[in-house]
Structure 1
Amino acid sequence: MTGGEADGWVRADRAGAVLTVTLDRPDQLNAQTAATWQALAAVGDSLDDEVRVVVLRGAGRSFSAGLDRGHLTPGHPLAAGFAELVALPAEEAQERIRGYQAGFRWLRSPGIVSIAAVQGHAIGAGAQLALACDLRVLTDDAQLRLPEVTLGLVPDLTGTSTLVELVGYARALELCLTGRPVDAAEARAMGLANAVVPRDELDAAVAGFVSAVCAPPAGASRETAALIRSAVHNGAVAQDAAERAAQVRRLHDLVGGR
């Protein structure tokens, strides 16, 4: 993908087992449109088994300022898309939004580990895109915010489930209902950030995570990632069974491959 308007300002570059996806609209702080979400979903649909790590970035000084406000501005060309959405029957409108959510949900697909490299602002849909990833590396000037409720909306791009997983019910409720900003230091303290680094060290920090994730055998990494993901929802009995089954598969692979 080239990253132009026709591609929703999304660029995808492959280097071996690493796929880098870049929001490439820096003059608008990588504000997102429906075309952006469709382009992200298309990237997810194009994944193959050789990809192990997906790095998600935003070009320029900010990761993403969130929804392009043109969608909510009467008379703006983008407003027609949301007007069309409102005119649909409820079930069809929800199905349209499900397609948008697909642009976010694939970032936790089996077989890959996704890493968000976040600098500057990650607001609304931008914050939800960072939350959709498995890991987040923030610059020390980064700020996350979920202001949807202040606009009369709700976070609907998979953000609520992942936020509760990361910070718990009470903190997630507070952040979503107040729409207050969370700086990098607080994000690290509450578990939203895996690392916080100076802006000029972001690339090196992300490269370090990529190298570490790719170092173990692919099969063991993928099985382990699947176990950690399932542990969020499984009870102890189900999770113990998942561990047993995964270990037997690994042993068969190791011993059978000799």
Structure 2
Amino acid sequence: MTLLNQDGVHVAADGEVATVTLTNPAKRNAQTPATWRALAEAGRVLPGTVRVVVLRGEGKSFSAGLDRQAFEPEGFDGEPSFLDLARGGDEELDAAIAEYQEAFTWWRRPDLISVAAVQGHAIGAGFQLALACDLRVCARDVQFAMRETSLGLVPDLTGTHPLVSLVGQARALEICATGRFVHAEEAERVGLANLVVPADELDGAVTDLAAALLAAPRGAVVETKALLAGAGTRSYDEQRAAERAAQARRLRDLAGLGD
């Protein structure tokens, strides 16, 4: 069932699995502000029955990042260019970037598990979109790169937090400051990729992973995701307490005593 089809973003749901597809392969799924608004809307149109969201890009590349037309004086039709935004006030600029970030923030919602199926180039905004997801399954031809610093910018589409969480601050700094490519073998070794497969097996591997993620009861998966998401900011004793509280809720639910 198609839920959304606009500005290079297609969203469809099939039972408990939804698929969000970037559909501009002619431009290697380059992203624009319109793309980001459509991606933000994708999170709002998902039915409550969806448990797993798969993010993919049509063609040879997942996403080559920001469409460079954003830096041209004329920008995009009906859109201010980034140069125009820079000339505006601080509040307007902050609000514009916050709106762009909304496309990247909903993928780690507690009620969902999101899986990025990444092939070819995932550069800049494309890298950050893959990082926005909970999990990443990558083809062997994948090439991650964070090129913002090379352009005199910073990664501002929510990618810095998950990148540091996955690979550590020192490696994240080196990847961002150099703008170099991270290929499949390294991505798997340092934790950027949960699984690496041949390109022609990418869709099958993601389908198998989605099925495995759906095997456990939804409540148990939601509670486990919340426990793991908070573990890094809790003390050992706080995490023990959180585990006890979560398990009590699960036991009561299994006993038919839940809310």
For normalisation by structure 1, the TM-score amounts to 0.94
Taking the aligned partners of 2:36 and 2:235, their CA distance within structure 1 comes to 33
Structure with greater helix percent: 1
| Residues 1:236 and 1:47: Cα distance change in structure 2 (over 3 Å) | farther
- Residue 65 of structure 1 aligns with an amino acid whose one-letter code is A
Taking the aligned partners of 1:242 and 1:81, their CA distance within structure 2 comes to 46
Shift of 1:49: 2.5
Shift of 1:95: 1.7
> Which residue number in structure 2 is paired with residue 167 of structure 1?
167
Taking the aligned partners of 1:85 and 1:239, their CA distance within structure 2 comes to 43
- Residue 45 of structure 1 aligns with an amino acid whose one-letter code is R
Taking the aligned partners of 2:200 and 2:235, their CA distance within structure 1 comes to 42
Taking the aligned partners of 2:128 and 2:232, their CA distance within structure 1 comes to 19
Could you give the per-residue CA deviations for residues 130-174 of structure 1, whole angstroms, max 9, x where no partner exists? 001000000001110001000011000000001001001111111
Shift of 1:231: 1.2
Taking the aligned partners of 2:99 and 2:75, their CA distance within structure 1 comes to 23
SS of match in other structure, 1:256 = coil
Query: Size of the alignment, in residue pairs?
Result: 255
CA root-mean-square deviation = 1.6
Is the Cα–Cα contact under 8 Å of residues 165 and 232 in structure 1 kept in the other structure? no
Shift of 1:257: 5.8
> Which residue number in structure 2 is paired with residue 124 of structure 1?
124
Shift of 1:92: 2.3
Shift of 1:228: 1.0
SS of match in other structure, 2:81 = helix
Q: Structure 2 regions of 5+ residues with no counterpart?
A: none
Is the Cα–Cα contact under 8 Å of residues 61 and 121 in structure 2 kept in the other structure? yes
Taking the aligned partners of 2:101 and 2:10, their CA distance within structure 1 comes to 19
- Higher mean C-alpha displacement, 90-99 vs 26-35: 90-99
- Residue 227 of structure 1 aligns with an amino acid whose one-letter code is L
- Higher mean C-alpha displacement, 222-231 vs 16-25: 222-231
Tell whether 2:80 aligns with 1:80.
yes
Tell whether 2:145 aligns with 1:145.
yes
- Residue 28 of structure 2 aligns with an amino acid whose one-letter code is L
> Which residue number in structure 1 is paired with residue 233 of structure 2?
233
1:189-228 equivalences under 5 Å are 189-228=189-228
Q: Structure 1 regions of 5+ residues with no counterpart?
A: none
> Which residue number in structure 2 is paired with residue 114 of structure 1?
114
